Amino acid sequence: MKRIIGAFSTVVQLDNEEVRSICKLGQGQKCCAFLVMGSGFECVRMDPSISRTIFNRLENNSINARGEGGWEGCAWPKVDELLRKRKMNE
């Protein structure tokens, strides 16, 4: 897993094993909706120009992959997990 940090977004490049074990590729609706194929497999969860559209499609049930990431091994923990950790550190 390799993060590419840009001025306005971060993209994660993943190998074939990671997309199956982490992003759940091949598991139907469990597959992460933010997994895309560019120059290899990429996670666009933190790229607002793309993720906004994906969130809209998730809300409208107009996308087959329904996963939102945040599970074990994911580069992006779920927001509620981040908030819980923040409260523990206060």
Quote the pLDDT of residue 47.
Answer: 87
Quote the pLDDT of residue 88.
Answer: 67
Higher pLDDT, 42 or 77: 42
Instruction: Tell me the average pLDDT across 36-55.
Output: 90
Reported as a pLDDT band with limits 50, 70 and 90, residue 75 is: confident
Quote the pLDDT of residue 25.
Answer: 96
Q: Sign of the CA dihedral 14, 18, 24, 27?
A: positive
Quote the pLDDT of residue 83.
Answer: 54
Residues near 31 by Cβ (< 8 Å), separated by ≥ 6? Answer: 23, 24, 25, 64, 65, 66, 67
Query: What percent of the chain clears pLDDT 70, i.e. is strictly above it?
Result: 84
Higher pLDDT, 83 or 66: 66
User: What is the domain extent for residue 49?
Assistant: 2-89
Residue 55: is its pLDDT beyond 70? Answer: yes
Domain count, the chain: 1
